A and B are shown apart, each in its own frame.
Chain A
Amino acid sequence: MDKFETLTGIAAPMPLVNIDTDMIIPKQFLKTIKRSGLGANLFDEMRFDRQGNEIPEFVLNQDAYREAQILVAGDNFGCGSSREHAPWAIKDFGIRCVISTSFADIFYNNCFKNGILPIALPQEAVDVLMKDAEKGANARMTVDLENQTVTTSDGESFSFEVDAFKKHCLLEGLDDIGLTMEKAGSIDTFEAQAAQARPWV
């Protein structure tokens, strides 16, 4: 997995609540058996008309935001299905960090497995960051995972919380399965005990 340490980049504003995984990557793109190439269809139905032309009003179609690496969004981002195609599409587009007041649980977890940092902040902080994002390409936001801060283009800084284990894995780019395999002894022991206690499982 790619490491995430610090990121300075353009932030795109999406001040819409309940952006769901069907919006992020519509189901017709779930027919792939690969993880790659989904960025072209990120937010497909908001971004393109049926003829495949860009919808100019959509934020990522505006010149200032084509290279966005950060997304600032409304409450409850990533609600809906468990499809990991959503973070795959976000990452493939080039976005490495999503900021909102809250995230749906499965999406939040999926981000960390793909080198994406989801940051939850209080409404007041998200409001400030949304305003900063609306300034366009000249305004660059900085995210520092080690120090757990987001800083606006004006230098206003906000601290965020992140689970220590998830932070460690993201900073180091660690593979979860490899880490768990190191605890195979504990799993073997548990499995043997469980087979005694609940043999019907």
Chain B
Amino acid sequence: MSPKTLYDKIWDAHVAHEAEDGTCLLYIDRHLVHEVTSPQAFEGLRMARRKVRAPEKTIAVPDHNVPTTAGREDPKNMTEDSAIQVAALDKNAKDFGIHYYPVSDVRQGIVHIVGPEQGWTLPGMTVVCGDSHTATHGAFGALAHGIGTSEVEHVLATQTLIQKKSKNMKVEITGKLRPGVTAKDITLSVIGETGTAGGTGYVIEYCGEAIRDLSMEGRMTVCNMAIEGGARAGLIAPDEKTFEYVKGRPHAPKGAQFEAALAWWKTLFSDDDAHWDKVITIKGEDIAPVVTWGTSPEDVLPITANVPSADDFEGGKVGAAQRSLDYMGLTPGTPLSDIEIDTVFIGSCTNGRIEDLRAAAEILKGKKIKVKRAMVVPGSGLVRAQAEEEGLADIFKEAGFEWRLAGCSMCLAMNPDQLAEDERCASTSNRNFEGRQGYKGRTHLVSPGMAAAAAITGKLTDVRELM
């Protein structure tokens, strides 16, 4: 048998039909659904009198547009449009018989945090969701990617997607990371290297010692932002850490079934001489704590650098860089660590897990914030409960952070958690696009530790100085 990559293996195990031109029907093992990109898909099903083909493989949770403040179980405490979208999801979940975690359920949270937490996400699966950060689930060695609403409807109706195979890219992070450098710095640094279109047409497999050393939480952070590099999906081969994480989760296999699954999961790695269409290697020791200065996730620099000038770039990026600098209100040559911050946001499917909250709390312990406002939005109700149990919530509250309920919140700012005009935010989320966190809001993407450091000093800060 010819050598295969991990992507090849998962792909081959899920092709339900292949046409002569290579167009395939890829079978989908898990379909995650949220309130914003699904209503039109369910409406389409109803109009065509179609059913959900595999409701037992379909899981819904409201996250994008829900309030993160107390009392949200009562729709009266939601904005009218949120209440309509949440009510639509309630009804669709009930009518079509799919698994559902309503806002009143402690297990509710960001769909990409709930899936792994509940054991829905398992190695070797195909996972899709109408959200680009579905790549997160690749941390388990699952082929996971975002889809549009028409494809959501297609998966609901047929449990398959029409696909052609992507190319294989290997991103290797060798050696050890330096202190203060995290999974977020890895993933941002890779995008800084490849650009936001560098991964277009590829599925990335992340490997190397620095990736192996990451916890499952860290691996999810890395894969989460594969899409920001343009890749359809990011993958990490499952190992003992993965199996340990999965074992005992509510929807993970048990007993003999677990053993059978484990036997297959252990075959899920790229063969030694597998073919790669593109290979990128970065030394772990070369990665620094980074921040973004512009309005594209590729605008990445070490915290020790200065704001660049548009002249530092070439081609179409010259104009884009100037536009970013104007939008961000930054002067070339300014040390990044001189940039004053108004707001700190800790949360999102990128960095809303327990390890992220621990990392931030470690920096914040016994300190007070200097920024105008700071909020923590745990990725799920269970993460929130665990953080309270571990005393992290008290550290955040005593430092001056708001301690919110789970949801996507200010990552995409659909709900009332938004930046005001020109408000500058150090954010653990994934996108620094114009207007992303609020009209004319300014976003600097950072790791949880760096966000906590900025909260304490009121400026973008090298977290290593506070460690």
**In the complex, chain B residues whose CB is within 8 Å of the CB of A113:** 148, 150-151
Which of A141-149, A151-159, A187-195 has 4 or more CB atoms under 8 Å from chain B?
A187-195
Q: Are B125 and A16 neighbours in the complex by a CB distance under 8 Å?
A: no
Q: Are B320 and A181 neighbours in the complex by a CB distance under 8 Å?
A: no
- CA of A49 to CA of B197 in the docked complex: distance in angstroms? 30
- CA of A187 to CA of B88 in the docked complex: distance in angstroms? 29
- B14, B82, B298, B433: the one within 8 Å of A22 (CB): B433
> In residues 145-179 of chain B, which contact A (Cβ within 8 Å)?
145-151, 153-154, 157-160, 162, 164
- B57, B200, B413: the one within 8 Å of A102 (CB): B200
**In the complex, chain A residues whose CB is within 8 Å of the CB of B70:** none
**In the complex, chain B residues whose CB is within 8 Å of the CB of A79:** 196-197, 230
Interface check A105, CB cutoff 8 A = yes
| Chain A contact residue count (CB 8 A cutoff) | 58
Q: Are B150 and A84 neighbours in the complex by a CB distance under 8 Å?
A: yes
A-contact 0/1 string along B10-34, CB 8 Å cutoff: 0001111101010101010100000
**In the complex, chain A residues whose CB is within 8 Å of the CB of B145:** 106
Specify the chain B residue showing the minimal Cβ separation from A22.
Answer: B433
Interface check B131, CB cutoff 8 A = yes
Q: Are B43 and A33 neighbours in the complex by a CB distance under 8 Å?
A: yes
Q: Are B160 and A187 neighbours in the complex by a CB distance under 8 Å?
A: yes
Specify the chain B residue showing the minimal Cβ separation from A187.
Answer: B16
Q: Are B319 and A16 neighbours in the complex by a CB distance under 8 Å?
A: yes
- CA of A110 to CA of B162 in the docked complex: distance in angstroms? 12
Interface check B435, CB cutoff 8 A = yes
> In residues 38-65 of chain B, which contact A (Cβ within 8 Å)?
39-40, 43, 48, 50, 53, 57, 64-65
Which of B181-189, B258-266, B391-399 has 4 or more CB atoms under 8 Å from chain A?
B258-266
Q: Are B25 and A106 neighbours in the complex by a CB distance under 8 Å?
A: no
Specify the chain A residue showing the minimal Cβ separation from B158.
Answer: A180
**In the complex, chain A residues whose CB is within 8 Å of the CB of B436:** 22, 27
**In the complex, chain A residues whose CB is within 8 Å of the CB of B320:** 16-18, 74
- CA of A122 to CA of B426 in the docked complex: distance in angstroms? 37
Q: Are B197 and A199 neighbours in the complex by a CB distance under 8 Å?
A: no
Interface check A8, CB cutoff 8 A = no
> In residues 100-145 of chain A, which contact B (Cβ within 8 Å)?
102-106, 109-110, 113-114
Specify the chain A residue showing the minimal Cβ separation from B152.
Answer: A84
